[in-house]
Amino acid sequence: MDIQNIERDIVGFLQELIRTPGIAGDLSAVADVVGRRMRSLGFDEVWQDEVGNVIGKRRGSLPGPRLVFDAHMDTVEVGERDAWVHDPFGGEYSQGKIWGRGAADDKGSLAAFTVALARLPREAIRGEVYAVGTVGEELIEGAALETVLDEIHPDGVIIGEPTDCRLGIGHKGRARLVFSIHGKAAHSSSPEVGDNAIDKAVEVIRRVRQIPSVEDPLLGKSVMEPIQLFSSPYPSASTVPYACEVVFDRRMVRGETRQTVLALHESVLQGMDGSTVHIPEVSVPCYTGKKISRQDFHPAWSVDPDSEWVRLALEGLKSAGIPPITYGTPFCTNCSGSAGERGLPTLVFGPGSVHLAHVTDEYAEVSELLHAVRGYMGLAQALGQLKV
Ligand SMILES: [Zn+2]
């Protein structure tokens, strides 16, 4: 491995990515950076699809599977700007780290596997490898990736997300549940005439908290946490609210479906006529003018640790000098689309810790990025032996 050139490639690419902000739907500039880099690194074909994902393809010298390596191009907001010591869009390189929004989540992974796949000699590639930068992941996991899967029909998917270079073989799913609670307005000097929707919302939260979690031997316990509360009218002057909406974030384990999750929570609305619970639709505008929409439900998944898919991946990591550690990843990613919805062989692997994601002074360690490049090269070579 030509470490010096790889280091130069990856540092330059990640700095450029960080200096090109990409939040929510506005990703055309980041997509241009990714496409340009893929071309200059020598991918055989590079294109953008209808929702704006960027795809780079390399053909191997021998027959084999089609492997997709994916990371998202969007980031969360900067948050409290004044709290940053390092410019969030500066891409500063100091103390062995590259600083800025997206360094850990998820631009570091994107830069690492793009460079890794570009630097693999053609003789080391079987089948086809694809480096993909997807849109819209921070808002709806898995949705934009599915347009890539429809086009490429891969045999396996490796999602780049910060796993400290461990091999994620499953993760919890995520869903948003909205309780719409019905009450009756009244003047707040005579609340007995109305039916205060805030009181009922508090009761809903109390009942939800009494529902036991679902246990999973790999992924741990399901989690159900209220994250937003709205009352109507708002603002209010001396009015007992006639409605309340309580939004919960659910972290699901394997086996939970839209139906089971809704059925589990409909019971808390007993005795509250006119109140409902549902999983909302989310829609994300893409810079291409298209929209990606889907229900805000992203299932849990896992792959069989004894499968050929996982065995080959661990061999690949070992041969690259990476400790072959598997684990259940604690956060939800695009894997919910490839593995959770479609059952495709999927893994998560990437540089850095998830504790560096979405924080002030986010960074990526250059040594860890180089470690990940070795890991991605090992994975691409070993998984190329997958029987298809
Ligand atoms: Zn991410």
Tell me, in angstroms, the distance from the centre of ligand 1 to residue 138's CA.
7
Q: What does DSSP assign to residue 20?
A: S
Say how many Å lie between the CA of residue 98 and the centre of ligand 1.
17
Examine the domain organization and report whether 341 and 237 are in the same domain. no
Interval between CA 268 and ligand 1 midpoint (Å): 33
Full DSSP string of 212-272: PPPEETTTEE-EEEEEEEEEESSS-SSEE-SEEEEEEEEEE-TT--HHHHHHHHHGGGTT-
Low-confidence winner among 1-10, 29-38, 229-238, 281-290 (lowest mean pLDDT): 1-10
Give CA–CA dist 314/10, Å, rounded.
24
Distance, CA 357 to ligand 1 centroid (Å)? 8
Q: How confident is the model at residue 4 (pLDDT cuts 50, 70, 90)?
A: confident
**Interval between CA 207 and ligand 1 midpoint (Å):** 32
- Classify residue 342: in a domain, yes or no: yes
Same domain, 104 and 80: yes
388 CA → ligand 1 middle, Å:
29
Residue ending a domain, choose from 232, 256, 282: 282
Which of 9, 8, 165, 19 has the alpha carbon at shortest distance from 99?
Answer: 19
User: For residue 104, how far is its CA from the centre of ligand 1 (angstroms)?
Assistant: 8
Same domain for 226 and 96, yes or no, is no
Give me the CATH number covering residue 371.
3.40.630.10
Task: Specify if 294 maps to a domain.
Answer: no
Distance in Å, CA 272 to ligand 1 centroid: 38
Are residues 162 and 184 both part of a single domain? no
Structural domain includes residue 288? no
Instruction: Give the number of domains in the chain.
Output: 2
Bridge partners of residue 247, in order along the sequence: 178, 228
In a shared domain, residues 355 and 311: yes
Inter-CA distances, 238 with 89, 184, 192, 193, 344, Å: 46, 14, 14, 13, 55
Confidence band of 62 (pLDDT split at 50, 70, 90)? very high
CA–CA gap between residue 25 and residue 36 (Å, rounded) = 20
Same domain for 335 and 217, yes or no, is no
State the CATH number of the domain containing residue 190: 3.30.70.360
Q: Are residues 310 and 354 in the same domain?
A: yes
How far, in Å, from the CA of 314 to the mean position of ligand 1? 23
Rounded to the nearest whole angstrom, what is the distance from the C-alpha of residue 72 to the centroid of ligand 1? 7
Residue 155 shares a structural domain with residue 186: no
Residue 66 lies in a domain: yes
Q: Give the distance (Å) from ligand 1 centre to CA of residue 330.
A: 12
The pLDDT-based confidence of 356 (bands split at 50, 70, 90) is very high
Residue 25 predicted with pLDDT over 90: no
pLDDT at 1 over 80: no
Note whether 146 and 278 are same-domain residues: no
Q: Are residues 223 and 116 in the same domain?
A: no
Distance 116 CA to ligand 1 centre (A): 19
Structure confidence at residue 339 (pLDDT): 96
Closest Cα to residue 329, out of 175, 225, 173?
173
% of the chain at pLDDT higher than 70:
99
What average pLDDT does range 69-73 have in this prediction? Answer: 98
CA of 339 to the centre of ligand 1 (A): 16
Determine whether 259 is exposed, middle or buried from the number of CB atoms within 10 Å of its CB (0-12, 13-18, 19+).
Answer: exposed
Q: Is 314 left (phi over 0), alpha (psi -120 to 50) or beta?
A: alpha
Region of residue 376 (phi > 0: left; psi between -120 and 50: alpha; otherwise: beta): alpha
pLDDT score recorded for residue 26: 85
pLDDT tens sequence across 221-270: 999 999 999 999 999 899 999 999 999 999 999 999 999 999 999 999 99
Residues 348 and 199 occupy one common structural domain = no
Owning domain of residue 199: 173-282
Query: What's the CA-to-centroid distance between 71 and ligand 1, angstroms?
Result: 7
193 and 213 in one domain? yes
